Amino acid sequence: MKVLLVADILRRDFDGCNRTLFQLLDRSLEKREIEYYCVASVFENFPPQMRHQKVPQLTLPFNKDYQMALPIFISAKINKVFSEFKPDIVHITTPSWLGNFMLRVAKKHNIPVTTIYHTNFISYVDYYINTKTYFGQKAYDFVLKKYVSFYNQCNKILSPTKSMKEHLIKLGVKSDLLEIMARGINKDLFFFKNQKSNRFKEFFKNDHKNILFASRLVWEKNLKVIIEIYNYCNENQLSFNFIIVGDGVGYTKMKDAMPRALFLGEVNQNDLCDVYNDADLFLFPSVTETFGNVVLEAMTCGLPVVASLGGSNTDVVGNGINGILVSENDITGYINAFNHILQEQNYSTFQKEALHNKLSKSWGEIYYEFVDRLNEVLLKPKSQSALL
């Protein structure tokens, strides 16, 4: 099977989307069931033997971590890729300018298009556009229309959770295009060690419980809530240490606002397991997640979770079982959840349930699910695919 993979960024371990993509790409090199040709604007730590086409890009002024691909400048090269590679399927990761461009070319060549719902971009709008203004609402309506149109022109959309499937249907995406395919966990990297180092005790010079947040430090992750929780704890002399893992546009402001917190920056996957195991609780206030890979990683390492009631957190976190879900901006609600889970008589039960969460599939299992979904598209008569 020949798959033309389209992604604005292919940077190993950059975010949840890229972790998923590289897990699938790496396994395709081992299994040889899929031959990929990749089109993206950024390639970092990319398999050198895999064919690819780089697209010119523009760094986004409001988020230096992301580059917007500009395919219009190499349209001739893109058409050459289609004519020479002759893909069976075009798999597009996001409804970006590049994604929409490649969708049009695929339709022109009568090639089916699949996508995985990696990023809940429409939920980011409130962080960058004031929808309470006339022009802000018009901008939102325009983005939403394009967003839904993109997904409705695909032949299959793989949603990571039930709540994201329902979210897309509510927006106007056709339900018959949607199937659920979860994310995987690398159990060789993430596992419970049942022992903690003294790293946090040595840094903070205390025996307080350690609250961990790990993700890209971008404002759509609801970073302001973490800062508010930190300030509330300081103002009320509550004994918690805060550890922040990750980098991004919010790093400097967050570090300035939380001078007593420990900022570890980017941590490689091998060391991240140790950080999870050394913490006591995982905090995740984001409401924009399509899955939340870090939540699953934390639970696999034995961390109960306190998360916001939004995004896919309701699918990943069992409220009152392996964690507690709190209304998005309820600061005292987060504090109450910390205190409840960390009580000695409660903690071992929450931890045990976190370790036995039902979503911890291996990436090998996810890979074969992905291959099966692509084969389903190829087996569907072209006359039917063209109608979707």
Instruction: Check pLDDT > 90 for residue 67.
Output: no
Instruction: Check pLDDT > 50 for residue 63.
Output: yes
How many angstroms separate the CA atoms of 207 and 17, rounded? Answer: 36
The token pair that represents 1 in the structure block: 């099977």
The token pair that represents 139 in the structure block: 């901008």
The answer to whether 142 and 95 are in contact (CB under 8 A) is: no
Task: State CA 374 to chain mean position distance.
Answer: 21
How many angstroms separate the CA atoms of 118 and 8, rounded? Answer: 12
> Which amino acid belongs to residue 15?
D
Same fold, 2-185+362-387 and 199-359: yes
Return all residues near 246 (Cβ < 8 A) that are at least 6 apart: 213, 214, 215, 216, 217, 265, 266
Domains of the chain, by residue range, sit at 2-185+362-387, 199-359
CATH architecture classification, 199-359: 3-Layer(aba) Sandwich (3.40)
Instruction: Check pLDDT > 60 for residue 152.
Output: yes
Kindly give the pairing relationship between strand 361-362 and strand 281-284. unpaired
Q: Global pTM?
A: 0.82
Kindly report which listed range (35-44, 133-142, 184-193) carries the lowest average pLDDT score. 133-142
CA–CA distances in Å: residue 169 to residues 8, 103, 152, 164, 178: 25, 20, 10, 9, 9
Kindly give the pairing relationship between strand 63-69 and strand 57-60. antiparallel
Options 3.30.70.2860, 3.40.50.2000, 3.20.20.70, 3.40.50.620; which CATH number does 2-185+362-387 get?
A: 3.40.50.2000
The token pair that represents 45 in the structure block: 């730590």
Q: Compute the average pLDDT of residues 196-216.
A: 96
The token pair that represents 150 in the structure block: 């993109």
The token pair that represents 92 in the structure block: 């597009």
Half-sphere exposure of 296 (CA within 13 A, CB side): 25
Torsion sign over Cα 14, 19, 20, 25: positive
Residue 60's pLDDT band (cuts 50, 70, 90): low
**Proportion of the chain above pLDDT 90, given as a percent:** 65
